[in-house]
Amino acid sequence: MAQKIRIGVLVSGGGTNLGAIIDASASNRIDAKVVFVGSDNPGAYGLKRAQKHGIPTFVVDYQAIIKETRGRPLEDMVPEDLDLERVLARQGIAPASSDRMKIERYFCTRAIAEAALLREMAAYPFDLLVLAGFMRVLTPYFIDRVNTDPSQPRIMNIHPALLPSFPGTDGYGDTYRYGCKVGGCTVHFVDYGEDTGPVIGQKAFEIVPDDTIDTVREKSVKLEWQLYPECIQLFAEGRLKVVSKTYTLENGAEINRKIVEIST
Ligand code: GAR
């Protein structure tokens, strides 16, 4: 049997995707082992799931951190290695943008929380970081410290919609309310946007007139529980490569796209 890769998982809630990954690992359906589970939410049931399996857990309480920073100067609290200008540039925020102060504060508070996450994670070397219902947007400060080799992204996310449609916190709800005939889920490598980055895999299901939001969610989570382990296994087998492709139209215009190639 192939050597198992080490995966770290971040969750904010119930952790049913985490459960599917733990089961897939326990039954050797994936060559991967969960080495830690972290959360921004002390009440996340996903932490209990992990503990039941003897997996180490930690919490970085974002809400408490954000509360603690309110009304206080942040200079002494931000991590020493935070290069705010670089983070803002990577995020595409212009130096003269309105609301600059507010934006700077947002990124400083997130970097404080992310530095705490990185400190906790440092205890558990890992090959792949898996976001399984982690409802916080990670900033370039964090992402660049995990993706130390830009050609080898190693943070994955699952989203309950066919991206790039319906990013955000309620992918199924948004799909259902829009009246889509098809819904689905997406696993992708994480870049600097919210639920954006090169797509690794997607699964789709039909939405029929009698469907309710609950039946849609039910159909979809079942597919998530299959899709995430499948994508983790492709990573474990070293079969994923992000490549940039350029396609030239007849009028000379160039179309650039980043795709994940899956080798056989
Ligand atoms: C899942 O449906 C996942 O796709 C979604 O959160 C849920 C977590 O459920 N993630 C997002 O919406 C990310 N934007 P779980 O805790 O039971 O795995």
Predicted confidence (pLDDT) per residue in 181-230, tens digit: 999 999 999 999 989 999 999 999 999 999 999 999 999 999 999 999 99
| DSSP code of residue 253 | -
Per-residue pLDDT of 5-48, as tens digits, reads 999 999 999 999 999 999 999 999 999 999 999 999 999 999 99
- Nearest atom (ligand 1) to Cα of 46: 16
Give the Cα separation of 63 and 65 in Å (integer).
Answer: 5
Q: Could you tell me how many residues make up the chain?
A: 264
Q: Where are the alpha helices (DSSP H) in the chain?
A: 16-26, 45-52, 62-69, 84-90, 100-121, 140-146, 171-178, 213-236
Give the residue carrying structure tokens 């942040």. 74
CA neighbor of 50 nearest in space, from 21, 72, 88, 24: 21
Is the distance from the beta carbon of residue 14 to the nearest atom of ligand 1 less than 6 Å?
A: yes
Active site residues: 159
Is the shortest distance between the CB of 171 and ligand 1 below 6 Å? Answer: yes
What are the pLDDT digits (tens) for 153-174? 999 999 999 999 999 999 999 9
Of ligand 1's listed atoms, the one at least distance from the Cα of 172 is 2
The pTM of the whole model exceeds 0.85: yes
Residue 208's Cβ-count burial label (10 Å; 0-12, 13-18, 19+) is: exposed
Count of C-beta atoms within a 10 Å radius of residue 62: 21
Q: How far apart are CA 153 and CA 174, in angstroms?
A: 28
- For residues 249-258, average pLDDT: 93
